Amino acid sequence: MNIDTRISLIRVTSNKLNFPLEVDQINSYLSDLRNHSPYDDEINDLIDHILQNGGKRIRPLICLLSFEMISNEQRNDTSLAAACSLEVIHNASLIIDDIFDKDIYRRQEKSFYLKYSTFAALSISYSLSSLALSLASKTNVIEIVDELIKAIHTLSTSLFLEQKFRSGKNKMTQEEALQLIDRKTSSLFEAASVIGVLLGNSSKKDRESMKLFGKLFGRAFQLKDDYFNLTSEQNDLGKSGVWTDISNRIQTYIVLEAMDLVSPNEKEILNDYYIDKKDFPTEKIKSILVNSGALEIVKNQISHYISEAIAILNMFSKSPSRDKLIEITNLLHI
């Protein structure tokens, strides 16, 4: 499941996330990307539309704040280029996710592949990916380019892994669900955190610590997204039709917990629906999941990841940037 198509952390808490200066600088850099792009005007117009059509810039924000926390320096063109490379690749991945998940809407308008064609969506995703690597190369730090390449690779393998899990005849394990979250969601948060400290004078220990921070942040982020996707009304999701996680029979972490908690009869229904692909009303499946007790377990799991992530940040010297990272992490609480 991708983040922005559904009720995400940032949409749910947008009234609390308040870093206008940083976000304005990120948006300004993104709006000027066509001046650094090798593509013709038609492609650049589409890229502009994608990058300016919403999004709270959480990944580049984490990158910039991580850089400032480790270096005690102000953000500059180099750090903005690195941060914005993450936002560009994030948007490239969303275009592909929409095709994969058959999502109808993205940020209150038709998904790109429905609006322009699947061929155009694939083409633009490739263009965005190469543009992201071009931005990362502007830092002249090969480790930063390598980090972004690893994130792109991990994102791409997540689709293969998800399809493997979906087409299987066995119930996923919680460990497998977390592995998928780590690849599909945490990977870019890990990259944002590591690239941020790579921009400064960081040690190997710093990089390892921030990589773990990104992993924990991503897990909490995705579990919160799954939570609100399940508990929100269809009209809240900015799309028509049913809840796509349920209709696509995605075995989220919540589903797997529910299967262990419900009555034998309800467990058989969930097994028939998710494993044997038998048809049941979406509302019935949702009701079983919501009333299973799994949501409370997931809330506690989110709190655990948040506590561990903040403990990592508290290892670094106190600074305004560190405090902002802690503030952003605390917004993951339900």
List the domain boundaries for the chain. 9-330
* Rounded-to-integer distance, Cα 200 and Cα 266, Å: 53
pLDDT for residue 236 is more than 50: no
Cβ pair 270, 259 in contact under 8 A: yes
Query: For the structural domain made of 9-330, what CATH number should be given?
Result: 1.10.600.10
> Averaged over 291-300, what is the pLDDT?
97
pLDDT tens-digit series, residues 319-332:
999 999 999 999 99
pLDDT for residue 241 is more than 60: no
How high is the pLDDT of residue 229?
Answer: 87
Higher pLDDT, 311 or 33: 311
Cβ pair 237, 7 in contact under 8 A: yes
How high is the pLDDT of residue 170?
Answer: 79
* Rounded-to-integer distance, Cα 330 and Cα 334, Å: 9
Residue 168 CB neighbour total at 10 angstroms: 12
* Alpha-carbon separation of residue 152 from 92, 108, 163, 262, 292 (angstroms): 10, 26, 18, 38, 36
The three-point CA angle 125-131-132 to 5° equals: 90
| 240 closest CA partner among 139, 103, 137 | 103
Mean pLDDT, the chain, as a whole number?
Answer: 88
* Rounded-to-integer distance, Cα 313 and Cα 70, Å: 11
* Alpha-carbon separation of residue 209 from 70, 160, 315 (angstroms): 12, 28, 9
pLDDT tens-digit series, residues 10-30:
333 333 567 888 999 999 999
pLDDT for residue 7 is more than 60: no
Q: Is the pTM of this model over 0.85?
A: yes
How high is the pLDDT of residue 17?
Answer: 65
With cut-offs at 50, 70 and 90, classify the pLDDT of residue 165: confident
Cβ pair 171, 271 in contact under 8 A: yes
Phi, psi of 105, rounded to the nearest 5 degrees: -125, 150
